[in-house]
Amino acid sequence: MSTPDFDLYRLTDDHDALRHAVRQVAEAKIAPHAADVDAQPRYPQEAHDALVAADFFAPHVAEEYDGVGADALATCLVIEEVARVCASSSLIPAVNKLGSMPLILGGDDDLKRRYLTPLARGEGGFSYGLSERDAGSDTAAMKTRAKADGDDWVLNGQKSWITNAGVSEFYTVLAVTDPEGARGNNVSAFIVEKTDEGFTFGEKEKKLGIKGSPTRELLFDNVRIPGDRMIGEPGTGLKLALRTLDHTRVTIGAQAVGIAQGALDFAVGYVKERKQFGKHIADFQGIQFMLADMAMKLEVARQMVYVAAAKSERDDADLGFFGAAAKCYASDVAMEITTDAVQLLGGYGYTQDFPVERMMRDAKITQIYEGTNQVQRIVMARSVLNR
């Protein structure tokens, strides 16, 4: 870990203006559909269209590829503000960054131009295929194989828990290309297109939360991939995938902050209106203590996420620790705050007539995906022990 730096990030006027713009879009075009998206469940097409129209679909893509070139902190602000009203919808910009980050980190300019340009224009989303049925935290144990055949590669296997599978047009897929090679150094990254022959999807998972974001398996049956769709050099895929997660765990922290903020905002409004024993329940000290703790922990989480975002933008050497810490702390806090929000609403909080029960269900996944919080603690401990 590096020497403490007290100028790790600074929100600019542009960042403040961006937050305001995203909040306007989120409240006008996304929030009105959030409950229905969860209840159906269905993909949040209204949010998709609104994000494309406002250039928030994949804000991280550089200007040279027709993107808006948002920095890592600005991208987190987009995700946070969308998650404040609908966690499922916030996965659209979040997963577009996750899926395309290996290409940004390791692809050549021709490959970037071919796939980042349509992503920036909103012509197709980008998903990320790393986990498998028996290779979750132990990613190096993957069984998906890509075998060389002339200038092409033939892909066989499956990937599990893939966010926005079936909706995205493009997929970064990790596969073993040298079965006899050293573990972890025998995996390569490929871009698979939705229309590739032999590429299909499993049934949609029935989930506790983020019900508007489809989660499905990717199935590969002799899928022929042109050689120029490999990202980087053979054998570098797993390193690229893990480096990607260092950057994108920060965005999950931002999502968690947004969910928690939405729950706190709603709970505050409720306790200021609800009366018991002749007074608003916000006047009771016990309620005030709960709100103070919720707000305090949320602000700590937000600061951790923004610091990690600044480190992501600079690609600092200690990003691994800070990304893991921000994701871990923010998601734990989101689970706590949403649970407390349900408690503050009492019996109403337990019903689907109010959004906090949905927010509580949505918050849970932030402790699990892009590495469970137990794995995040392993990442942090390694950084501490290797100082």
Q: What is the CATH number of the domain that holds 92?
A: 1.10.540.10
- Between β-strands 170-176 and 199-201, what pairing exists: parallel, antiparallel or unpaired? unpaired
Q: Is the pLDDT of residue 84 over 70?
A: yes
On whether both 164 and 109 belong to a single domain, the answer is no
Task: Examine the pLDDT at 3 and tell me if it is beyond 70.
Answer: no
User: What confidence tens digit (pLDDT) does each residue in 255-288 have?
Assistant: 999 999 999 999 999 999 999 999 999 999 999 9
CA atoms within 13 A on the CB side of 102: 29
Residue scoring higher pLDDT (107 or 7):
107
Percentage of residues in the chain having pLDDT higher than 90? 95
Burial class of residue 193 in the structure, from the number of CB atoms within 10 Å of its CB (0-12 exposed, 13-18 middle, 19+ buried)? middle
361 with 289, same domain?
yes
Instruction: Give the per-residue pLDDT at 137.
Output: 87
**% of the chain at pLDDT higher than 70:** 98
pLDDT digits (tens, 9 = 90+) for 119-133: 999 999 999 999 999
Q: Are residues 75 and 213 in the same domain?
A: no
- Evaluate whether 299 touches 356 at the Cβ level (below 8 Å): no
Q: How confident is the model at residue 385 (pLDDT cuts 50, 70, 90)?
A: very high
Report yes or no on 2 lying in a domain: no
**CATH number, residue 303:** 1.20.140.10
Considering the domain boundaries, does residue 198 fall inside one? yes
CA gyration radius, the chain:
21
Q: Prior bond to 118 cis, omega within 30?
A: no
pLDDT reading at 6 higher than 50:
no
Q: Is residue 366 part of a domain?
A: yes
Please name every residue paired with 127 in a beta bridge, in sequence order, or none if there are none.
171
The residue type of 379 is: V
pLDDT at site 9: 86
Q: Contacts from 6-13 at CB under 8 Å and sequence distance 24+? A: 8/306, 8/307, 8/310, 8/311, 9/73, 9/306, 9/307, 9/309, 9/310, 11/73, 11/306
Two structure tokens written together for 222: 């002799």
Please pick, among 81, 217, 357, 370, the residue that the annotation labels catalytic.
370
Confidence of residue 136 (pLDDT cuts 50, 70, 90): confident
| Residues near 178 by beta carbon (within 8 Å), at least 6 away in sequence | 186, 234, 235
Residue the block writes with tokens 């897929």: 173
Q: Are 229 and 249 within one domain?
A: no
Instruction: Determine the residue type at 323.
Output: G
Mean pLDDT throughout 213-242?
97
Q: Tell me which DSSP letter residue 135 carries.
A: B
Co-location of 229 and 307 in the same domain? no
Instruction: Give residue-wise pLDDT tens across range 175-200.
Output: 999 999 999 899 999 999 999 999 99
Does 162 reside within a domain? yes
Q: Does one domain contain both 281 and 336?
A: yes
- Measuring CA to CA, which residue among 68, 171, 86, 84 is closest to residue 125? 171
Answer yes or no: do 110 and 57 share one domain. Answer: yes
Domain containing 259: what range?
239-385
**Same domain, yes or no: 251 and 366:** yes
pLDDT of residue 13: 97
- Residue whose entry in the numeric block shows the structure tokens 């203006």: 17
370 is catalytic: yes
The reply to whether 87 falls in a domain is yes
| Domain assignment of residue 186, yes or no | yes
> Of 97, 124, 151, at which residue does a domain stop?
124
- pLDDT tens digits, residue range 294-311? 999 999 999 999 999 999
Q: Which of 85, 106, 124 is the last residue of a domain?
A: 124
Last residue of a domain, one of 124, 146, 165: 124
**324 within 8 A of 379, measured Cβ to Cβ:** yes
pLDDT of residue 202: 98
Bridge partner list, 149: 152
8 neighbors 307 (Cβ within 8 angstroms): yes
State the pLDDT at residue 180: 95
User: For residue 179, what is the domain's CATH number?
Assistant: 2.40.110.10
Q: What is the mean pLDDT of residues 212-240?
A: 98
Neighbouring-strand partners of residue 230: 190
> How much is the average pLDDT of 222-249?
97
Q: Same structural domain for residues 110 and 163?
A: no
Residues 248 and 310 in one domain: yes
Give the DSSP H/E element, type plus range, for residue 339: helix 319-344
- The pLDDT value recorded for residue 79 is 99
1 belongs to a structural domain:
no
Same domain, 28 and 136: no
* pTM assigned to the model: 0.96
pLDDT mean over 209-236 = 98
Do 256 and 380 share a structural domain? yes
| Domain tally, the chain | 3
- How far is the C-alpha of 314 from the C-alpha of 316, rounded, in Å? 5
Which residues are CB-contacts of 313 (< 8 A; sequence separation ≥ 6)? 71, 72, 73
Give per-residue pLDDT as tens, 313-337.
999 999 999 999 999 999 999 999 9
341, pLDDT greater than 80: yes
Domain-embedded: residue 315: yes
Q: How confident is the model at residue 7 (pLDDT cuts 50, 70, 90)?
A: low
Q: Supply the mean pLDDT for the chain.
A: 96
